[in-house]
Structure 1
Amino acid sequence: MIGIIRYGAGNIFSLTAALERLGIKYGMVYSEPDFEQFDRFIIPGVGHAGAAMNKLEQSGMVDKIKSLKRPALGICVGMQLLTAHSEEGDANMLDIFPLQTIRFADSAGYKVPHTGWNRVELEMDNPLFKNIPNGSHFYFVHSYFIEFNKAYTLASTTYSTKFSASIWKDNFYAVQFHPEKSGKYGEQLLTNFSNI
């Protein structure tokens, strides 16, 4: 069963609705003792990464998340929380991935935030993308991105610059896009995570 880590950052209605459609059982994690009820976790998030990290620290769950040995999936700001540092709020993150979260530069033809559907290119084989064709489209809403690093990147996309659409290290997975808003391939990804 999936535990959704609740630390006060963002609306999770779309995520829980998607899990319910897929018949995936889930519950909520509000504090450290709740972790024992679940065999995998989702770290959601929308909005400001610095503020989200501050709320996560206030929740008292930082050390528990960093020590997880069971599968965990960060979504959007939840992905950015797993990096070392974010330019959004000039904030140190969980430092599970030695990567930087960077703001999109203002450039001609590319509006910030990046909002909409983008092709995602697979960089390596991984069960998270099982039965998802290379070049599938996923839905993004973000002003900051994770720097591309071949060692950790499961999938990439390009919006003014190439960046990591999904990263992986040990039991930690993350996606910058919103699988819960990405149609059948987003639902396939959530199903895949529930089976990892």
Structure 2
Amino acid sequence: MAKNVTIIDYGLGNLRSVMRGIEAAGARAVITGDAGEIAAADGIVLPGVGAFHEGMDQLGALRETVCAATKDVPLLGICLGMQMLMDSSEEHGTHQGLGLIPGRVRRFPHVPGVKVPHMGWNTIRLTKEESPLYSGLPHDAYVYFVHSYYADTTPEYTLTSTDYILPFASSIVRDDVYGVQFHPEKSGAVGLRLLKNFIDLI
């Protein structure tokens, strides 16, 4: 029987693209903003594009539902969804996140001749030897990024690191809560394998 992965619909994000990725990875994907459906999921994906404060505002009352669900099922945050897992962000002022993974979201510093946002393919380096999310993947895989802000956290919660202007956490973890700054649904075979690995965690 296919596992049920709930993709949280809070008004931001390319939900259909994420849905196709989850289905290609072998799970049944449901897009919903219903708290009951989220609470009943086998696994949860929190996608998102746009500004941090808009994401948190749009998530609204679902914040408590998401935090409570992570005690029982795995969660994967993608791009803005990953950033929202953290304590806070400095994007357009200071805003509180879900607080599921310690750290702060910061803007890339200005460097003459280097473009922000960080857009395109770049390497992720695995910093934890044993991670089920990266099972079967090379330690220096290429994935697709689009972001102007990055996760500033400690090595304890850093799953992969990437260099762009400075080294930053390109994926993060705490217990069964995972976040990836890149877009697995746009990262070819590497992204598909990562989504399959996430489904295997369920």
CA contact (8 A) 2:122 2:142 kept: yes
Q: Structure 1: which 4+ aligned runs deviate by more than 6 Å?
A: none
In the alignment, the residues of structure 2 paired with residue 55 and residue 122 of structure 1 have an alpha-carbon distance, to the nearest angstrom, of 32
Instruction: Tell me how many residue pairs correspond in the alignment.
Output: 194
Correspondence list, 1:102-181, <5 A: 102-124=106-128, 125-181=130-186
Q: Which runs of 5+ in 1 are unaligned?
A: none
Match of 2:32 among 29, 32, 39: 29
How far the C-alpha of 1:91 sits from its partner, in A, is: 1.1
2:101 counterpart of 1:97: yes
Name which of 74, 77, 80 aligns with 2:83: 80
Deviations 1:55-110 (A, max 9, x none): 011xx211111122210000000000001111113211111112000001110232
For 2:52, the equivalent position in structure 1 comes to 49
Which string of whole-angstrom CA distances, capped at 9 and with x for unpartnered residues, describes residues 95-152 of structure 1?
Answer: 1112000001110232000001111000002100001101110100000000141010
What is the Cα-based RMSD across aligned positions, in Å? 1.1
1:67 aligned counterpart, secondary structure: helix
**Cα-to-partner distance string for 1:28-50 (whole Å, 9 max, x where unaligned):** 23121112442100000001111
TM-score (norm 1): 0.95
Aligned to 1:38: 41
| 8 Å contact from structure 2 (residues 86, 98) kept in 1 | yes
Report % sequence identity.
39
- Name whichever structure is richer in strand by fraction: 2
Q: Which residues of 2 match residues 5-24 of structure 1 at below 5 A?
A: 5-24=8-27
